[in-house]
Structure 1
């Protein structure tokens, strides 16, 4: 990609990093994909500045994605069940994917994210091999498909290459659709993951431990060490289901959090996804270690997982980011308010998170947990990501800018700039017919 030309934007309102109230008439200069000057109180813009009516925010970060789950939206509600029943349907989609189909589905899914104001995504990737478990001729061809999908959709990607070795906490081998997830052991996972270099400056690689079900205790440290040696982010699913906690306690005599702490996995470079069913001791361990947490409220309610103690985690010292996970909804505004509103239901108390905290979770913290510490703020020198939200739709009319996370939705996003390049204009992707792409890609893999 060539660097974009310098450009200037005039935002009706913009949420600046050094003060919580949105400022009016903000002139924003973009040079070589970075913010230059950001000046509030400029009522008369220069003639070459593009006007952005509404509220302009930093780019939103989706810290947890399984792109192929998008094919399940609206297809899993035919009967009662729980996470484990849903997982069977998810495996059916996974079994149908090859590199070409995955490229098409991920491109469409990432383009839907761009329409929703998401400028960066963390892809928790474990579809490594062919359906029978045999490596492809290029053992990282599925990773390359995701990197290319993000490039075509116009967003940044942190590929969280996921170690997935066993089916259960007690070490039962992978079978059926799970075969394609596994590398045999952590050493072979590390060799394969370490051999991959993403094409393009829009992508980087991190690591992931799928869960304590999927990586034996004696191999957790190798994955964590791989990430630490590369100063790369490390993510993991943690205590998403009570059954996971019960199995871990029965086999190891301790909670998943305690097991991970003992293995040296936790810390500021690590993000625990879901963190739904935690003891008070777990809360303290995660917070005191500085481990981040990623809330995925729309997926957690979709799968009947429960409501995580995110306020308590933040109070203990964790940061919180947001993810769309299974893509039952691709809408960071909904994820942010769902985190707050779900906690109101369980605590009977309003105001768990302030609007400023919700903004930071959706922007700055999310980018940082994916390794992009120079994004998520409208600040000189940072990556020039802009998301403009209408304040005159049926949802947002009459709402003060500070209330956007309690009123707006993805459909209210009008303009998205990523690294200084326009990706969405007037509510449409500049390159892709996203509904048509989604329909065509899902038709090839849906159960």
Structure 2
């Protein structure tokens, strides 16, 4: 199927009446100022597919349940662990399918799933040790988006090496070798990749951090909380950034997530390493505002899914810096779009642009909603929300049509998944 965009972002510029020809899921030609002919018309502004670089699918259950009242990341984590303790492969599939369907409707065509919910609640392995990861890949396939399963190493509960506690036992394989053996047995589905992650410097001892070097893509939570920095300093005598630098896991194949509480030396050490920022989660959990403007290789994630809207994440990247500095204009619109379409951070460098040879990922954004009417199309990224997305094409397949998912009723699926989780938790 070919598509015709009334406006499209091509090479950083807005072009009009663009014919986009597709074959075998790839863009073969992009021709501005051309009639639609038999191509399907996409009205509004057409952008490349968006990349959600950091997701914990099971956190979606907590939306609308944990935002009121006082507390911190650590009090929120107690509620999150209650969800983690209840899910099994069947209920996780139902939940993830619904969450990835919501992502598709938000224009996300690829997700990096930071996956550490590996085993049964008591830590025992399922008959298929990868049942939970396979449920996530099947869920993404059903929702029509690509997935990079960032299978996560989790061995300790604190930087001083205490063993996993409580529900954390289901996160752990017991040793690096046992984790690596299980990951090696993963069989990715089509349009899925297997990557790796270290949960954090709290959860992975230094020797095992070093053993991860060379894996690609490789992700790690880094300096999300001041308490993490303080514990790392007390045990290892350095910041988390310096610890991972010493053990060789920084570089272009690595993405650190959050990077909120950094020293000047940390910022310098991260030059050339990707950084994924998750603004809505970071503000929801009262994490703080990081030095995003000083960092390189930026990407965006919805993390705990308090909101699934990469327009909101991109805007917040700029707005948070305004709050921190009391100045405007830290990022150009082009830089915000680049962060929202950074598929390379999760191993898909052939996506993220509307040009020949790239994956045919297209997102049509209405220019006549109550949010976007009258806006300059070149600044639609700063006006639109996920609710303004009308059509989404992933690898040449139409997965959202007229603001609805083509495969299933996503709102109903989310309700049913929440009900299934509550039954599991009872």
Where on the TM-score scale, by shorter chain, does this alignment land: which range?
Answer: over 0.9
| Aligned match of 1:329 | 307
- Count, aligned residues: 423
2:285 aligns with one of 265, 280, 303: 303
CA RMSD of aligned residues (A): 0.9
Aligned residue runs from structure 1 range 30-179, under 5 A: 30-42=22-34, 44-46=35-37, 48-179=38-169
Q: What is the alpha-carbon distance in structure 2 between the residues aligned to residue 174 and residue 362 of structure 1?
A: 34
How big is each residue's C-alpha offset from its partner over 1:371-422, in whole Å with a ceiling of 9 and x where there is no partner?
1010000010111000000000000000011111110000000000000000
Q: What is the alpha-carbon distance in structure 2 between the residues aligned to residue 64 and residue 224 of structure 1?
A: 20
- Verify: 1:26 aligned to 2:4, yes or no: no
1:406 aligns with one of 374, 382, 386: 382
| Aligned match of 1:381 | 357
Deviation beyond 4 Å, 4+ runs, structure 1 = none
For the Cα contact (< 8 Å) 1:30–1:384, is it kept in 2? Answer: yes
TM-score normalised by the chain length of structure 1 = 0.94
Deviation, 1:79, is: 2.2
For the Cα contact (< 8 Å) 1:100–1:145, is it kept in 2? Answer: yes
How big is each residue's C-alpha offset from its partner over 1:166-204, in whole Å with a ceiling of 9 and x where there is no partner?
0001011111111100011111111111111212x2101
Q: What is the alpha-carbon distance in structure 1 between the residues aligned to residue 28 and residue 65 of structure 2?
A: 46
For the Cα contact (< 8 Å) 2:67–2:284, is it kept in 1? Answer: no
How big is each residue's C-alpha offset from its partner over 1:241-294, in whole Å with a ceiling of 9 and x where there is no partner?
00000000010000000000000010100000000000000000001xx11000
- Verify: 1:429 aligned to 2:405, yes or no: yes
1:259 aligns with one of 228, 232, 243: 243
| Aligned match of 1:15 | 9
For the Cα contact (< 8 Å) 2:48–2:362, is it kept in 1? Answer: yes
For the Cα contact (< 8 Å) 1:83–1:303, is it kept in 2? Answer: yes
Q: What is the alpha-carbon distance in structure 1 between the residues aligned to residue 258 and residue 2 of structure 2?
A: 39
How big is each residue's C-alpha offset from its partner over 1:94-141, in whole Å with a ceiling of 9 and x where there is no partner?
111000000000000000000000000000000010000001111001
1:285 aligns with one of 269, 290, 294: 269
